[in-house]
Structure 1
Amino acid sequence: MHSNLYIPDAFLADVASYIPEHLNMADFVAYCQQPLRRAVRVNTLKMSIEAFKQACVERSWQLTPIPWCAEGFWLTRPAQEEEKLALGNTDLHLSGCMYVQEASSMLPPMALREELHEGGTVLDMAAAPGSKTSQLAALMANQGVLVANEYSSSRVKVLAATMKRMGIYNVALSHFDGQIFGEYMPERFDHILLDAPCSGEGTVRKDEDALKNWSLESNLSIAQTQKTLIESAFHALKPGGTLVYSTCTLTPVENQQVCQHLIDTFGDAVEICPLNTLFDGAEKATTAEGYLHVWPQIFDSEGFFIAKFKKRSSVPQPQQKTKKGAFPFQPLNSKDSKVLLTELTKQFGITTLPGAIYERDKEVWLFPAEFADIAELIKYQRIGILIGTRHKNGVRWEHELATALGHLANKNCFALNNQQAQDYFQGKDVELSTDSDNSGEVFLTLCGTAVGLGKWQKHKIKNSLPRDLVLNNQLITWV
Structure 2
Amino acid sequence: MNENTTQLHPAFLTRMKEMLGNEYPAFLSSFSAPRTYGLRINTSKITCEDFENLSPFPTRQIPWIKNGYFYDEDIRPSRCPYYQAGLYYLQEPSAMTPASRIPIEPGDRVLDLCAAPGGKATAAGAALQGQGLLVANDISTSRARALLRNLELFGIPNVFVANETPAKLTKAFPEFFDKIILDAPCSGEGMFRKEEALAKDWTPEKSMELSEIQKELILQAADMLRPGGLMLYSTCTFAPAEDEQTVSWLLKNRPDMELAEMEDYEGFSHGVPEWGNGNPELTKCIRIFPHKMNGEGHFLALFRKKGQAIKESSRPHTKPDKNAFPLIEEFLNEIGLKTLCGQPFDWERVEIRGDKAYYLPPVAHNFRGITFLRNGLYLGDLKKNRFEPSQPLALAIRKDEAEAVISLSASDERITRYLKGETLNIEPEEAAHKKGWHLLCADGYPIGFGKLVNQILKNKYPAGWRV
CA contact (8 A) 2:164 2:371 kept: no
Structure 2 residue aligned with 1:300, among 294, 298, 303? 294
Deviations 1:243-287 (A, max 9, x none): 1100011101001111111111112x1111022xx0332654454
CA distance in 2: counterparts of 1:142 and 1:30, whole angstroms = 44
Structure 1 residue aligned with 2:164, among 151, 176, 182? 176
Deviations 1:350-375 (A, max 9, x none): 264268111101211011111x2243
Deviations 1:380-403 (A, max 9, x none): 221121112223413221222211
**Partner residue, 1:378:** 370
**Partner residue, 1:345:** 333
Deviation at 1:64, TM superposition (A): 2.3
- TM-score using structure 2 length: 0.88
CA distance in 2: counterparts of 1:10 and 1:211, whole angstroms = 12
Letter in 1 for 2:62: I
CA distance in 2: counterparts of 1:24 and 1:39, whole angstroms = 26
Match runs of 1:417-456 below 5 Å: 417=409, 418-434=412-428, 438-456=434-452
**Partner residue, 1:363:** 356
CA distance in 1: counterparts of 2:239 and 2:68, whole angstroms = 26
**Partner residue, 2:189:** 201
Residues 383 and 401 of structure 1: is their aligned pair in 2 closer, same or farther, counting only changes over 3 Å?
A: same
Deviation at 1:5, TM superposition (A): 5.1
**Partner residue, 1:390:** 382
Residue ranges of structure 1 left out of the alignment (5+ in a row): 315-328, 472-479
Aligned length: 440
Deviation at 1:40, TM superposition (A): 0.9
Match runs of 1:25-104 below 5 Å: 25-56=24-55, 59=56, 61-76=57-72, 82=75, 86-104=76-94
Structure 2 residue aligned with 1:272, among 254, 259, 263? 259
Identity of aligned residues (%): 27
Deviations 1:395-436 (A, max 9, x none): 221222211025363421011342111101111112224597
Deviation at 1:338, TM superposition (A): 5.9
**Partner residue, 1:260:** 248
Deviations 1:285-320 (A, max 9, x none): 454511001111121211000001111159xxxxxx
Q: What's the RMSD between the two structures over aligned residues?
A: 2.3
1:331 is aligned to 2:324: no
CA distance in 1: counterparts of 2:268 and 2:202, whole angstroms = 29
1:213 is aligned to 2:201: yes
CA distance in 2: counterparts of 1:434 and 1:369, whole angstroms = 39
CA contact (8 A) 1:35 1:206 kept: no
- TM-score using structure 1 length: 0.86
3-state secondary structure, aligned to 2:166: coil
Deviations 1:213-242 (A, max 9, x none): 212211100111111100100111111111
Deviating 4+ runs (over 6 angstroms): none
Mean alpha-carbon deviation: is it higher for 25-34 or for 342-351? 342-351
CA distance in 2: counterparts of 1:244 and 1:406, whole angstroms = 29
3-state secondary structure, aligned to 1:192: strand
3-state secondary structure, aligned to 1:280: coil
Match runs of 1:136-155 below 5 Å: 136-155=124-143
Residues 158 and 254 of structure 1: is their aligned pair in 2 closer, same or farther, counting only changes over 3 Å?
A: same
3-state secondary structure, aligned to 1:47: coil
Mean alpha-carbon deviation: is it higher for 351-360 or for 158-167? 351-360
CA contact (8 A) 1:37 1:74 kept: yes
Match runs of 1:115-194 below 5 Å: 116-194=104-182
Residues 105 and 283 of structure 1: is their aligned pair in 2 closer, same or farther, counting only changes over 3 Å?
A: closer
CA distance in 2: counterparts of 1:230 and 1:149, whole angstroms = 15
**Partner residue, 1:105:** 95
1:14 is aligned to 2:15: yes
Letter in 2 for 1:40: L
**Partner residue, 2:394:** 402
